[in-house]
């Protein structure tokens, strides 16, 4: 099971995002996001310990080597970044419940947590991927979910801010 930790670090939040979007109650979506953030934090700590003990980890998705296929690579720096990103997510998520309930319409709360988990997925994917193309893909995943997070605010200015962020992010990514 530990051989699959690099891919589980990305797949678990990727699967949790649609779960958050499908539930009707914000607290259930929060529970899914909370479990996901703490699970990814535990995986990141385990990956850091494994990299310290055994050296860098390479995981070829589908059995294809790096020039042709997708490779996840975790070295000491990547593992440390994973721990930092997941620690922030694990610390922020428990305290997000009340502020999200106050700031976001109740019907949109599950979508907020879906976008939050997708943003976490993108950031984790950037840290573990071994090629530039997938860095760009995960950058887009995290960026688009960040635009959605901004747009979910109750204030009318949130939609304008999200649109401006989308334009600036698109210009910056090209």
Torsion angle of C-alpha atoms 15, 65, 126, 119, degrees rounded to 10:
-20
Return the pLDDT at 36: 97
Asked whether 135 and 129 are in contact (CB, 8 A), the reply is yes
Query: Each residue's pLDDT tens digit in the chain (174 positions)?
Result: 577 888 899 999 999 999 999 998 999 999 999 999 999 999 999 999 999 999 998 887 776 666 677 888 899 999 999 999 999 999 999 999 999 999 898 999 999 999 999 999 999 999 999 888 888 999 999 999 999 988 888 888 888 888 888 888 888 877
Contacts of 35 (CB under 8 A, 6+ apart): 16
CA distances from 89 to 54, 62, 142 (A): 27, 29, 14
Strands (E), 50-149: 57-60, 71-74
Q: What is the pLDDT of residue 1?
A: 58
Q: Which residue has the tokens 């703490």?
A: 38
- Whether this model's pTM surpasses 0.85: yes
**What is the residue extent of each domain of the chain?**
2-173
DSSP strands (E only) in the chain: 57-60, 71-74
Rounded to a whole number of angstroms, the CA Rg of the chain reads: 17
> How far apart, in whole angstroms, are the C-alpha atoms of residue 5 and residue 43?
7
Strands (DSSP E) found in 39-165: 57-60, 71-74
pLDDT at res. 62: 72
pLDDT, position 38: 98
The CA distance from 104 to 43, in Å, is 30
C-alpha 160/C-alpha 171 separation (Å) is 17
pLDDT for residue 117 = 97
């Amino acid at each position: 099971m530990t051989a699959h930790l690099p891919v589980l670090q990305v797949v678990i939040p990727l699967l949790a995002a649609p779960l958050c979007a499908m539930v009707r109650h914000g607290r259930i979506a929060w529970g899914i996001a909370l479990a996901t953030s703490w699970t990814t934090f535990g995986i990141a700590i385990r990956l850091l310990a494994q990299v310290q003990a055994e050296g860098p980890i390479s995981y070829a998705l589908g059995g294809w080597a790096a020039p042709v296929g997708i490779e996840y690579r975790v070295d000491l720096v990547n593992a440390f970044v994973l721990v930092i990103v997941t620690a922030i997510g694990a610390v922020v998520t428990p305290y997000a419940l009340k502020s999200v309930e106050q700031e976001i319409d109740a019907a949109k709360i599950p979508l907020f947590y879906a976008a939050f988990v997708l943003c976490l997925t993108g950031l984790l994917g950037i840290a573990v991927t071994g090629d530039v193309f997938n860095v760009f893909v995960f950058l887009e995943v995290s960026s688009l979910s960040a635009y959605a997070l901004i747009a979910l605010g109750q204030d009318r200015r949130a939609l304008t801010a999200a649109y401006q962020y989308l334009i600036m992010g698109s210009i910056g990514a090209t």
